[in-house]
């Protein structure tokens, strides 16, 4: 491996083809292809969500520290970039670019040594991981629509579902918005039963008072966690949320360093950690985050909302986590163009089997990558790019908050209190 020299670090954007619907946040993917002088190739991925082109351009900055180095020195390149990049620990773009290159280098090392990345991280503790489905509720507005799609997901094998029931509510939460959110969650709980984990996505949108009202109202449905209930810049309010709401708090997709995770745990702001391998330092920092979580006994449920390289990388680190909890999956709701990019892993009966091949354990279809290569920005639509399509504004432009609150049978709902059977 010492003779392998990193020759090129290339960012590649791929995007949904014309006519194929994707939620705005998932309509682009930034891949990073690292090539050595022997012609070996490793792949990484970085997040997008209204920063596709800034992340793409940031890869060029990171590349200067890796290009020309021995592959065996990739950790030293990581450290040197940390030294030089003054804003790295607070720049999502800089850290995402670094993460993608780090993932690609680990992929290369795994191929060179003939082992999966999980072996490089100390060896796997599991070969299969439980998953929860996300993205399944596109175009859902009425509680009955949420219930029907939720039931279809559990019938396909998922034992956990995540969803955002809050529609177009942002910052404040109106009484009508809260009633509708409660009716949606209640309808899903009634449809899927008590044995399915419901994971409530707040998307970091609320001021503390609104988040607490929502959390207290939704407790009756026994959600497994509340994800990012308050706006991230107001994170100190999570102490009060955790004191007044019994549902555990999950967060982490906007945290960039192991020290960030340590800070949130030590201040009592979080119960369940959700790092994202594509923006928190790849595998290099992922090992440190794993250690922080283990020291606190904190469950880890990696965020995974973008593309298939991200999933493949996340599965490799899942295999090694001492406190693994559950794995996010959008695969059941992906458009076909995204499915075509990678082969080598599958999700069946609500879980992933972790690939055992070298590196990330998957094969990238470079013809598909070339077919969908693009240089576009994500589209700006009537909905923010972080929502599931059709849940903020429907296809006719109507706000979901004006939808009728109906239960799973189509009857008007007044947010009935839910009790364990």
Angle (CA) 187-192-193 rounded to 5° is 100
Paired strand residues for 13: 30
* C-alpha gyration radius of the chain: 21
What are 364's two structure tokens?
Answer: 């990238």
418 is catalytic: no
106 is catalytic: no
Which residues does 263 contact at the CB level (< 8 Å), separation at least 6? none
Q: State the Cα–Cα distance between residues 405 and 419, nearest whole angstrom.
A: 20
Whether the Cβ atoms of residue 305 and residue 134 lie closer than 8 Å to each other: yes
Q: State the Cα–Cα distance between residues 337 and 76, nearest whole angstrom.
A: 36
Q: At what angle do helices 308-318 and 92-113 cross, to 10 degrees?
A: 70
Q: State the Cα–Cα distance between residues 280 and 99, nearest whole angstrom.
A: 7
State the catalytic residue, choosing from 74, 106, 111, 303: 303
Q: State the Cα–Cα distance between residues 217 and 212, nearest whole angstrom.
A: 8
* Residue whose token pair is 């939620």: 23
Paired strand residues for 258: none
What are 362's two structure tokens?
Answer: 């998957």
Nearest to 263 by CA among 235, 233, 241, 300: 235
Whether the Cβ atoms of residue 4 and residue 59 lie closer than 8 Å to each other: no
Q: State the Cα–Cα distance between residues 154 and 137, nearest whole angstrom.
A: 13
Q: State the Cα–Cα distance between residues 306 and 279, nearest whole angstrom.
A: 12
State the catalytic residue, choosing from 128, 203, 222, 418: 203
Catalytic residues: 203, 303
């Amino acid at each position: 491996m010492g003779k392998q020299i990193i020759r090129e670090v290339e960012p590649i954007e791929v995007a949904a083809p014309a006519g194929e619907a994707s939620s705005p946040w998932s309509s682009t993917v930034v891949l990073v292809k690292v090539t050595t002088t022997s012609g070996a190739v490793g792949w990484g991925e970085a997040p997008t969500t209204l920063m596709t082109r800034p992340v793409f351009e940031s890869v060029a900055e990171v590349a200067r520290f890796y290009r020309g180095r021995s592959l065996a020195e990739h950790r030293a390149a990581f450290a040197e970039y940390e030294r030089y990049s003054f804003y790295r620990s607070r720049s999502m773009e800089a850290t995402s670019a670094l993460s993608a290159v780090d993932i690609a280098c680990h992929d290369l090392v795994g191929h060179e040594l003939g082992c999966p990345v999980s072996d490089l991280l100390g060896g796997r503790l599991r070969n299969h991981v439980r998953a929860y489905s996300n993205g399944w509720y596109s175009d859902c507005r009425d509680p009955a629509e949420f219930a029907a799609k939720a039931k279809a997901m559990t019938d396909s094998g998922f034992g956990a579902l995540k969803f955002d029931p809050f529609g177009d509510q942002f910052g404040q939460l109106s009484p009508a918005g809260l009633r509708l959110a409660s009716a949606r969650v209640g309808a899903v709980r009634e449809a899927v039963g008590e044995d399915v984990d419901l994971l409530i996505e707040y998307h970091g949108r609320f001021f503390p008072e609104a988040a607490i009202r929502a959390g207290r109202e939704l407790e009756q449905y026994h959600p497994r966690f509340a994800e990012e209930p308050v706006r991230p810049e107001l994170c100190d309010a999570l102490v009060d949320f955790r004191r007044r709401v019994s549902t555990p708090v999950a967060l982490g997709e906007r945290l960039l360093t192991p020290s960030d995770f340590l800070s949130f745990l030590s201040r009592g702001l979080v119960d369940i950690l959700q790092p994202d391998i594509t923006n928190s330092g790849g595998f290099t920092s992922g090992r440190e985050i794993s250690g922080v979580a283990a020291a606190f006994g904190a469950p880890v449920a990696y965020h995974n909302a973008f593309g298939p390289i991200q999933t493949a990388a996340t599965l490799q680190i899942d295999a090694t986590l001492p406190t693994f909890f559950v794995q996010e999956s959008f695969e059941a709701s992906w458009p076909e163009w995204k499915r075509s990019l990678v082969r080598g892993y599958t999700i069946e009966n609500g879980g992933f089997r972790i690939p055992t091949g070298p590196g990330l354990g998957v094969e990238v279809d470079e013809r598909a990558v070339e077919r969908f290569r693009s240089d576009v920005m994500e589209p700006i639509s009537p909905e923010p790019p972080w929502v599931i399509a059709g849940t903020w504004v429907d296809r006719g432009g109507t706000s979901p908050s004006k939808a009728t609150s109906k239960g799973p049978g189509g009857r008007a709902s007044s947010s009935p209190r839910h009790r364990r059977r």
